[in-house]
Amino acid sequence: MIRDELAAAIETAANDAMAGGELPHVVLPEIVIERPAKHEHGDYATNLPMRLARSARANPLDLAKTIASRIPMSGAFAAAEVAPPGFINFRLSPAWLAQQVAAILAEGEHFGDINIGAGQRVQIEFVSANPTGPLTAGNGRGGTIGSVLASVLQAAGYDVEREYLVNDAGTQTDVFGRTLLARYLQLFGQDIAIPDDGYPGDYMIDVGKQLREEFGDRFADAAPDAPPPEFVLRGIDIMVESIRADLKRLGVTYDAWFHERSLYEGDGLYETAMAVLRDGGHLVDKEGALWFASQELGEDKDNVVVRSTGRPTYLASDIAYHYDKFIVRKFDRVIDVWGADHQGHVSRLKAAVDAIGVDPARLDILIYQLVSFRRGDEVVRLSKRSGNIVLMRDIVEEVGADAARFFFLSRSADSQMEFDLELAKRQSSENPVYYVQYAHARIAAILEKARERISSFDDGDVALLAHPAELELVRKMLQLPELVQQMARAMEPHHLPHYAGELATAFHAFYTECRVIDDDNEALSKARLKLCAAAKAVLARALTLMGMATPERM
RNA sequence: GCGCUUGUAGCUCAGUGGAUUAGAGCGCUACCCUGCGGAGGUAGAGGUCGUGGGUUCGAGUCCCGCCAAGCGCACCA
C-alpha cells in the first residue's frame, strides 16, 4: 500500500538525518500519514516535524525541510512540499496514477484485498436473536453490521467464520414451549390460555398449526405446563428456519448455526467450563446459588451462574459457549456483535473469558445502539410481547434489501438511529444506494456500447489518462485498500457506503467532463474504457462488500 | 444514584489533534443536454460543532464539570 511505503520512506529519511547529524537523536513517534482535507495540500501529509519540534528543540519548518530533502522523489510521488506551520505534503505523480488503472484491472475483483489479518482465524457472531419469534426490524442493524464486517475482515486477510447462536436451552425456551403447546391444544378445542408471561403473537398459532399437520394429535394429551421436548424442539426448528429465511432476504448468511442446547449434551462443554472456573477458584456458593466471583476480578458485583433451582443462567451458557469458541475451536479472535441492551454484559463476559485462561483482548464485543422507529410523527413502540412489532421482513419488502442494508450501514454503530418507515419507503427510489448502483449500470452501458464499435481495448494505453477528472477518479479508487484497513482495525464498516458514494461521484464527474467513446480519438477512447472498466470493478467490489447487487442495468 | 453510548446545517448523518472559509445526502434556490444512460453535473443559501472550564504551538476531535437523550444496573436473555 502506497501509504505504508510513504510512512517507511519518511521514517528512513528522519533516521538518515539523525545519522547525518542534521537532526538531534530523538525517539521517533509513530509516523502519522493523513489525507489533507484540501486538494492544494496534496494527496498525503505528515505532521512529523511538528511532533518532533519539542524533543528536537528545533523549528518545525526547518525540521520539515531537513526531512523532506531526504525523501527520494521518484515513482509514485512527484513532490514533497514543506508547508507552515510544519507539514510535509506529498503529491502523487500523474503518470504513476495513470498506471494504477492497469494495476487495478489486473487485480480485478481482488482489488482492495490486504493482508493485515495474515490468515488469523476470527469468528464473528451476530444477530443471535432468541428463536421465540420472528426477527424485528432492529435485528436488521445487527445483521447488516455483522455481515459487512465479516466481509471486510475477509478482505483484510482474516479467515472468517460467521455464526448464529440459537438460544434453545434457557427459560425463554420453556416459555416458548408452553405458549406453543397452549396454541396447539387450542386447535383441538381445549380451553387453555397461553401463559401470562408467554408470547402472544399470532405467529405462534401458525407454528401450532404446522405442528398439528406434522404430528397430528400425538401431543393432544400433553400436560399444558410440561411440553414434550420433541414438540418444543420442532417448534424451535420452525422458528429458526423462518429466521434463516428472513436473514437471507436481507442478504445475510452464516457459516455455522450453534445450538446452545449442545453445550449441555455430548461432550459436556458446560461441565468442563464450570470445572475450569471452579479449579481457578472463581466459583462460590452463597444464598443457595452458585456465583461467578467476578467482583474479585474488578466487576461491580458477583453474578449467578447456577440458580438455586439448579438451572444454569445465561451467563453460564455464555461462558461455556466462549470456552468452546476459544479453547475447543481455537479461534484466534472472536467478535460478538450485540445490541446496546446487552451492554451491561460486556465486562462480566470479558472477566469470565479471563477466568477461563483466555486473554480478553482476543474477544471484541461490538455494541450497536438500538434503532427507534417512527412513521412520520408517530413513534412506533416495539415489543415482542405486545405484538406491536415491525418485522425485519416487512422492512425488506417495503424498501428492498439493498436500501435497507445501505441505511443500516450508513450510521456508525455508536449512534442511535431513527428509522422513519414513511421516509424510507418514500425515498426508496431516490436512495443513495441507487446513486451508486446507477454509476455501475452506467459504466456497464458504456462498455456495452463500446463493444459495438471497438473490438477490443486491451491494447489501450493508460498513460494517456491525464485529465484532472480522470486522475481524481483513480485517486478515489486507490483509497479502497486503505479504507479496508481502517474498517478492519476499528471495526467500523459504516465508512463503506460513504466511500461508495464518493466513488460514484468521482465517476459521474469524469463522465460529465470526459467523452469516453470518441471515434476521432480511438487511442484515448481505449484508455478511457480501461478507466471505466477499472471503476466498474472497484464499484462492484464496494457494493459486494456491502452485500448489495451490482446491476448491469436498472 | 452508578455504568456505557450519543448531542455537528431545516431533516438524517459523516468527520483518523492540525493548515484564515467544519462536510455529505435529502429538502430549498439558480444554472447545464444539436454527443456514451439527466436515477447525472455545476453553483448558492443554510452552523455560537449541547454548555462551561482545562490540556496543547493548535481541540468538533483529548480530559473534567454541567444539561439533555437512548440503553443497562435480575437467581431474563
Give the CA-to-C1' distance from A459 to B22 in angstroms.
45
Chain B nucleotides near the protein (CB, 7 A): 3-7, 12-19, 23-27, 35-42, 57-58, 69-77
Sheet architecture: strand order including A417-420: A378-380, A371-375, A417-420
Per-residue pLDDT, A372: 82
**At A18, is the pLDDT very low, low, confident or very high (cuts 50, 70, 90)?**
confident
Q: What mean pLDDT is reported for chain A?
A: 90
Per-residue pLDDT, A388: 60
Torsion sign, CA atoms A447, A453, A457, A462 = negative
Beta-sheet pairing, A256-259 with A121-125: unpaired
Residue with smallest Cα–C1' gap to B33:
A512
Element (H, E) at A417: strand A417-420
Give the CA-to-C1' distance from A83 to B21 in angstroms.
19
Per-residue pLDDT, A80: 86
Per-residue pLDDT, A379: 66
Element (H, E) at A373: strand A371-375
Q: Which residues contact A432 (CB under 8 A, 6 or more apart)?
A: A406, A410, A497, A501
**At A383, is the pLDDT very low, low, confident or very high (cuts 50, 70, 90)?**
low
Contact A372, A456 (CB under 8 A): no
Query: A417 pLDDT exceeds 70?
Result: yes
- pLDDT (average), residues A224-241: 95
Distance of CA A146 to the CA centre of its chain: 4
Cross-strand bridge partners of residue A89: A45, A81
Contact A145, A182 (CB under 8 A): no
CA distance linking residue A4 with residue A31, whole number of Å: 10
Q: Using CA atoms in the order A347, A352, A358, A360, what is the torsion angle rounded to 10 degrees?
A: 0
Q: Which pLDDT tens digit goes with each residue over A181-203?
A: 999 999 999 999 999 889 988 99
Asked whether strand B has any atom less than 7 Å from the CB of A449, the reply is: yes
Cross-strand bridge partners of residue A195: none
Per-residue pLDDT, A364: 95
Per-residue pLDDT, A381: 59
Highest mean pLDDT among A174-183, A423-432, A445-454: A174-183
Distance of CA A285 to the CA centre of its chain: 41
Element (H, E) at A497: helix A495-513
CA distance linking residue A167 with residue A314, whole number of Å: 9
Asked whether strand B has any atom less than 7 Å from the CB of A46, the reply is: no
Per-residue pLDDT, A425: 66
- pLDDT (average), residues A532-545: 96
- pLDDT (average), residues A142-156: 97
Shortest CA to C1' contact from A54: nucleotide: B57
Shortest CA to C1' contact from A528: nucleotide: B36
Per-residue pLDDT, A232: 96
Please tell me what DSSP assigns to residue A253.
-
Asked whether strand B has any atom less than 7 Å from the CB of A61, the reply is: no
CA distance linking residue A503 with residue A9, whole number of Å: 28
Which of the 259-288 residues on chain A come under 7 Å of nucleic strand B at their beta carbon? 287-288
CA-closest candidate to residue A264, choices A273, A277, A253: A273
Asked whether strand B has any atom less than 7 Å from the CB of A445, the reply is: yes
Shortest CA to C1' contact from A368: nucleotide: B5
**For chain A, percent of residues with pLDDT exceeding 70:** 96
Grid cell for residue A543:
457494493
Helices (H) and strands (E) in chain A, counts: 18, 15
* Residue carrying C-alpha cell 459521474: A508
CA distance linking residue A81 with residue A289, whole number of Å: 69
- pLDDT (average), residues A366-385: 72
Q: Which pLDDT tens digit goes with each residue over A92-115?
A: 999 999 999 999 999 999 999 999
Q: Which residues contact A367 (CB under 8 A, 6 or more apart)?
A: A338, A339, A340, A342, A343, A346, A413, A414
Contact A486, A492 (CB under 8 A): yes
Grid cell for residue A317:
451458557
- The string of DSSP codes covering A9-44 is HHHHHHHHHHHTTSS---PPPP--EE--SSGGG-SE
pTM: 0.94
Asked whether strand B has any atom less than 7 Å from the CB of A18, the reply is: no
